Structure 1
Amino acid sequence: MKLHITAVTVAAIASLALAGCSTSDTANDNAATPAAEGSFPVTVDHMYGETTVDALPERVATWGFGTTDAVLALGVVPVAIPSAEYGGGDDLMYPWVSDAIEDLGGQTPVLLDNSAYELPVEQLLATDPDVLMAPHSGLTQAEYDAVTAAGVPVVAPPEELWSTPWRDVITTTGDVLGRADEARDLVADLDRQVTDAGDQHPEFDGRSIAYVSEAADVYYLLLPTDPRVELLENLGFTTPESVTSLSNGESPFSTTVSAENISTIDADVVFTQVDTDQALQEFLNSDVSRQIPAVAKGAVAGFVGQEAGSAIGPTALSIPFFLPTLVDGLADATEVAGS
């Protein structure tokens, strides 16, 4: 799979796959290596109480988004990971995940069926995990209770489902894997990568941007609290008041926008992500979309494909994978905005 980005100018507008092996196959190859700074037991507070991990976990399972990436980035191949129906390709794994597994040389993890966003408890327990890491997930109380009742410690989201910042996913994972210092160094390095990328493009500094998407004639705006918008702001862009003022309180991360209010989105650049080239052209040519001044001008960074849509969510592995493509597309759109 290849990432496809289109920076649009005015002239240019015209089922479960199990991959892996048995429990015995992964017992040694995917074992965690003790880190010098690690000390146990480790206790993690979360929305369902607290979890204590008594010893360095050797068989790590992951659930949700971003945690698999954190575990791999810290040098451990999990025994089980969620399948990636959206953006994962034929093997149901994100390319940056499969690349990391290959680089580490571990056995391919069992893919936990994520098609219904419900944890397959029996499938998970069959992999004999020492811990289930799910700090950024939709893990329910019932799922948590079922896994812990089987004697497997579970690290659940700290406060709310699907709301843990990507940096906290990494540091929490590092604490549980006995690699706290390594995890914090990793976060600092990722932040440096983003800052350096922004420094190489001073034209981003102070430019306003709106993250707009459309589905079934409904328009969505992502707000600065969303990690994807945060990443754009870390590169130097700003979110204009014309975007934040449209928030209706239905979600802390996004808001819907009616057709009659779409023209009030006043940003230098529009960022959007769609699944197909046809969907991008429909967005660009729509009479509604073109009420946004930046769309009418062609100052749009449009990313095409499920892989790109997944990659823009910042994780320990997706940031270095996607950052060069992201920056190139934003640079082209910013050039159009300034013309």
Structure 2
Amino acid sequence: MRSRRRFAAVMAGTAAVALTACGAPAESGGADAAAGEPIVIEHALGTTTIPGPPQRVATVNWANHEVPLALGVVPVGMAAADFGDDDGDGLLPWVEERIEELGAEVPVLFSETDGIDFEAVADTDPDVILAAYSGLTQEDYDTLSEIAPVVAYPEAPWATSWRDVIRLNSQALGLAAEGEELVADLDRQIADAVGEHPELEGASTMFLTHVDTADLSTVNFYTANDTRAAFFEDLGLSTPESVAEASASGEFSGSVSAEQVDRFDDVDIIVTYGDQALVDTLEADPLLSQTPAIANDAVVFLDGSGPLGTAANPTPLAIPFVLDEYVALLAEAAARAQ
């Protein structure tokens, strides 16, 4: 079940500064920065100065386009979805729905299967390029900066929390106050959903990466530095000490041999990509089946190529779209873990 009620509610609470795909304003007002007042943003790759609230917004890499869309601004160009796209049109369902709500045309979609298409980005003639959640290299950033001011990640590639993605990208739009309202709305939505499932409170949860059923000799997992695992804390869950220790390295993932799997005896719930066949394989393995989460069938398996699995990495429009379904699956697993 897609959480359209929550999706509509959170969108209703944001500012309406809608732009068409070609950048012409459909409604004015709401900007924090007055026309001509520069917007200065510091990030890991430099300091970006935007002369004033941009009229033509482009985005690259994953999910950055969701911030302007949530705030009623339609980018002139954005990255096409290369996974989780349920109908092959380059748009995730929550993005497609939002564009339809705004009555806008689909922006130019940049193919990034072979990296950023700098020429395509330049062709959209943007005033700003949003990439607060991205894997930009310094070379990527320098090349994009020749096209327009670029907002990169604050600390490390692919490590920006969904809240900071909203804050940085909305600041670049001159809509910092509206971005804070969006964060607050999403926090309320999450609190309401979690409040309906007290069994979630404190359940220790880890996220396994894609499991190779042909080779279970190694257990690969995301650390708390990855946004998928970090989202568990938002949902009332907790980070197991075993995962917290691995997270101290600063890496986004870790691995241990199956012979050492007993270090995860402090894990109540496992989330991973796969299907029931994967769970059956884990339960049949003589080592992995001894872990409490697997022994209790407290495993949430997600279709990694579908919308729900894609939304396990939280983004501004995806959160309200799948929140009810995701929380319900975690609650079911938490109940089995008790």
Q: Is the 8 A contact 2:110 2:121 kept in 1?
A: yes
**Corresponding residue SS for 1:111:** strand
Matches within 5 A, 1:272-283: 272-283=271-282
Relative to 1, partners in 2 of residues 1:26 and 1:187: Cα closer, same or farther, differing over 3 Å? closer
CA distance in 2, matches of 1:61, 1:236: 35
CA distance in 2, matches of 1:277, 1:129: 46
Partner of 2:195: 199
| Structure 1 residue corresponding to 2:173, chosen from 167, 171, 177 | 177
Relative to 1, partners in 2 of residues 1:159 and 1:297: Cα closer, same or farther, differing over 3 Å? closer
Partner of 2:80: 83
Q: Is the 8 A contact 2:205 2:271 kept in 1?
A: no
**Corresponding residue SS for 1:215:** coil
Partner of 2:22: 27
Task: Return the offset for 1:291.
Answer: 2.8
Matches within 5 A, 1:76-155: 76-89=73-86, 90-116=88-114, 118-150=115-147, 152-155=148-151
Question: 1:209 corresponds to which letter in structure 2?
Answer: T
Q: Which moved more, 1:268-277 or 1:185-194?
A: 268-277
Partner of 2:323: 323
CA distance in 2, matches of 1:225, 1:261: 22
Task: Return the offset for 1:127.
Answer: 1.3
Q: Which moved more, 1:208-217 or 1:160-169?
A: 208-217
Q: How many residues align?
A: 313
Aligned residues: CA RMSD? 2.4
Relative to 1, partners in 2 of residues 1:278 and 1:73: Cα closer, same or farther, differing over 3 Å? same
Partner of 1:262: 261
User: Identical aligned pairs, as a percentage?
Assistant: 38
CA distance in 1, matches of 2:91, 2:118: 20
Q: Is the 8 A contact 2:33 2:52 kept in 1?
A: no
Relative to 1, partners in 2 of residues 1:91 and 1:276: Cα closer, same or farther, differing over 3 Å? farther
Task: Return the offset for 1:171.
Answer: 1.0
CA distance in 2, matches of 1:43, 1:247: 32
Task: Return the offset for 1:74.
Answer: 0.9
Partner of 2:231: 231
Partner of 1:304: 303
Task: Return the offset for 1:214.
Answer: 4.0
Task: Return the offset for 1:64.
Answer: 2.0
Task: Return the offset for 1:235.
Answer: 2.1
Partner of 1:64: 61
Relative to 1, partners in 2 of residues 1:65 and 1:284: Cα closer, same or farther, differing over 3 Å? farther
CA distance in 1, matches of 2:330, 2:247: 24
Moved over 6 A (4+): none
Task: Return the offset for 1:92.
Answer: 2.1
CA distance in 1, matches of 2:166, 2:240: 30
Q: Which moved more, 1:190-199 or 1:313-322?
A: 190-199
Q: Which runs of 5+ in 1 are unaligned?
A: 4-24
CA distance in 2, matches of 1:48, 1:32: 33
Cα displacement string for residues 154-178 of structure 1 (whole angstroms, at most 9, x for unaligned residues): 1122232222222111011111112
**Corresponding residue SS for 1:136:** coil
Relative to 1, partners in 2 of residues 1:213 and 1:289: Cα closer, same or farther, differing over 3 Å? farther
Q: TM-score normalised to the size of structure 2?
A: 0.84
Relative to 1, partners in 2 of residues 1:334 and 1:159: Cα closer, same or farther, differing over 3 Å? closer
Cα displacement string for residues 223-253 of structure 1 (whole angstroms, at most 9, x for unaligned residues): 233322232222222222233345583x533
CA distance in 1, matches of 2:91, 2:288: 33
Q: TM-score normalised to the size of structure 1?
A: 0.84
**Corresponding residue SS for 2:132:** coil
Partner of 2:294: 295
Question: 1:107 corresponds to which letter in structure 2?
Answer: E
Q: Is the 8 A contact 2:144 2:150 kept in 1?
A: yes
Question: 1:49 corresponds to which letter in structure 2?
Answer: G
Question: 1:41 corresponds to which letter in structure 2?
Answer: P
Question: 1:316 corresponds to which letter in structure 2?
Answer: P
**Corresponding residue SS for 1:147:** helix
